[in-house]
Amino acid sequence: MSGLTYQGSGVDYDLLDAFKRECQAAAGTTRGALAAHGLTEPPAIRGESAYLVELPHAYLAHVEEGLGTKNIVADAVLAATGRSFYREIGIDTVATIVNDLVTSGARPLVVAMHAAVGDAEWFRHDQRRRDLAAGFAEGCRLAGAVWGGGETPALKGLVQPDAIVLAGSGIGLIEPKARRIVGDVAPGDAILFLAASGVHANGLTLCRRIADSLPEGYQTPIGDGRTYGEALLAPTPLYANAVAAVQDAGITLRYAVNITGHGWRKLMRLAAPLTYQIDTPGDEGALFRFLRAAGPIDLKEAYGTYTMGAGFALIVRASDAAAATAAVAATGHRVWHAGTVLAGERSVTVPSLGLAWADHDLALRDDASPI
C-alpha cells in the first residue's frame, strides 16, 4: 500500500508557493510608497515570515496568518462528544500569527482576529463562541500582546454555513534595532529545537482524511491515554517568551524558524548555500507514530510536512548554545541542541533517519526580483 501524502490530500504546496513567489514580485513594486512617509523596507525581508518597516530607532513587524482547517476537527469532536476545544482553537489562532512574528526578533504588541462564517447562526452555540473568545484572549496574554480588534463577516455562499474561517494579524516592535534576527547564519552554528505539542496548525487536511478511514474516527485511542481528536487539538505553544529570554540574556540569535507548513524543510528558508544537519532529532511522540502507521505516511513525507516533535528552531553561535538552551529552558519550553549548520549545498539532512531535502524541495522566495 502506498503512503498518503499532503499533496494527495488536496494541498499542493508547489502551487501555493508559486503564487507566493508571484506575490512577492508584485509586492516589491509597491515598496516606494514607504518613501512618502520617510520610511524604508529593510533588504532581504521578502520571503521571511514577518514583514518589517524600518523606523529611525526601531523596526515594526507585521504578520497576517490563518489557522487552516484545525477547527473542523474541533467541530467534529464537539458533535461527537459535546466537548468544546474552541479555547484551544483560540490559542492556536494567536500562535499561528505570533510564532511567525517573533522569528524577526519582534516583541508582539497587537493581535487582531478575523473570524469569517458562512452564516451568523454559527455564533448561536454559546459555549463554542465564548471558548473561542476566551482562548484568543489567553493566547494574547501568553504572547504578551493586546487583543486590538478584529472582523466577523458572514460570507454566505462563500464559506460553508456551519463553518468558520479563523485568521488574524499581528504587529510587533524590534527595539533596539540590534534585536532584529537577520539570518546571518554561518557554518558551525548550533541548531536548537523547541518542543512541539503536536501537529500545531499544519497538515490537518491529511489528518482529517485519516480520521475518515478509522472505524472510531477521532475517538480512536493513539496509545498514550488520549484519543486521536484530543491529540490533534492540543494547543500550539507560543514561543515569544523563549525568543525574548535568549535576547534578554544578551545572546545573538542568528536565525529563528517557525516549523509549520513544509515541516523540517523550513530549516533552509534562507537562500544561503548551507546545510542544516540534525543529529539529535528527538522523540516524534505518540501522535506522529500513530499518524505514520494509520496513514500510512512515509517517513520523509511526515518530516517534510509536520513538526514531528520540534515546533520552533533557534540558530546561535556554537559558543552560545549552552547559555541559549538554559535561557529557553527557564521559560518552561523543552529545548535541546539538535544539530549544526555546515558549509555546502542548501539542504536539510537527518542522518540517523536517512532523510535529506535539497534546494529544490523548498522554494518560498521570488529569486527573480530583489527581496
CA-to-CA separations, 92 to 71, 291, 326, in angstroms, rounded: 10, 20, 26
What mean pLDDT is predicted for residues 128-135?
98
Q: In this structure, is residue 57 part of a structural domain?
A: yes
pLDDT at 358 over 60: yes
Cell of 252: 545573538
Specify the CATH number for the domain of residue 258.
3.90.650.10
Cell of 218: 477521532
Q: In this structure, is residue 265 part of a structural domain?
A: yes
Q: In this structure, is residue 370 part of a structural domain?
A: no
What mean pLDDT is predicted for residues 235-262?
97
Q: In this structure, is residue 2 part of a structural domain?
A: no
Q: In this structure, is residue 366 part of a structural domain?
A: no
Q: In this structure, is residue 214 part of a structural domain?
A: yes
pLDDT at 105 over 60: yes
Q: In this structure, is residue 368 part of a structural domain?
A: no
Q: Which residues contact 168 (CB under 8 A, 6 or more apart)?
A: 64, 65, 66, 93, 94, 96, 97, 111, 112, 113, 114, 150
User: Looking up cell 487539538, which residue turns up?
Assistant: 233
Cell of 299: 517517513
Q: pLDDT averaged over the chain?
A: 94
- Please report, rounded to a whole number, the percentage of residues in the chain having pLDDT higher than 90: 86
Contact of 43 with 199, CB cutoff 8 Å:
no
Residue pLDDT, tens place only, 186-224: 999 999 999 999 999 999 999 999 999 999 999 999 999
The string of DSSP codes covering 96-151 is: HHHHHHGGGTPEEEEEEEEEEESSGGGGG-HHHHHHHHHHHHHHHHHHT-EEEEEE
Return the axis-axis angle of helices 204-213 and 286-294, rounded to nearest 10°.
60
For the chain, the distance separating the N- and C-terminal CA atoms, rounded to the nearest angstrom, is 43
Q: Domain residues for 169? A: 7-361
Contact of 83 with 243, CB cutoff 8 Å:
no
The string of DSSP codes covering 290-336 is: HHHHHTTB-HHHHHTTS-TTEEEEEEE-GGGHHHHHHHHHTTT--EE
Q: In the chain, how many domains are there?
A: 1
* pLDDT for position 364: 65
> Rounded to 5 degrees, what angle do the CA atoms 6, 193, 45 make?
75
Residue pLDDT, tens place only, 133-181: 999 999 999 999 999 999 999 999 999 999 999 999 999 999 999 999 9
Q: Which long-range contacts (CB under 8 A, 24 or more apart) does 53-58 make?
A: 57/175, 57/176, 57/177, 58/173, 58/174, 58/175, 58/176, 58/177
* pLDDT for position 47: 80
* pLDDT for position 45: 86
> Rounded to 5 degrees, what angle do the CA atoms 210, 212, 213 make?
65
Residue pLDDT, tens place only, 288-347: 999 999 999 999 999 999 999 999 999 999 999 999 999 999 999 999 999 999 999 999
Q: Side chain identity at 56, as an amino acid letter? A: P
Q: In this structure, is residue 98 part of a structural domain?
A: yes
What pTM, to 2 d.p., does this model score?
A: 0.93
User: Looking up cell 527581496, which residue turns up?
Assistant: 371
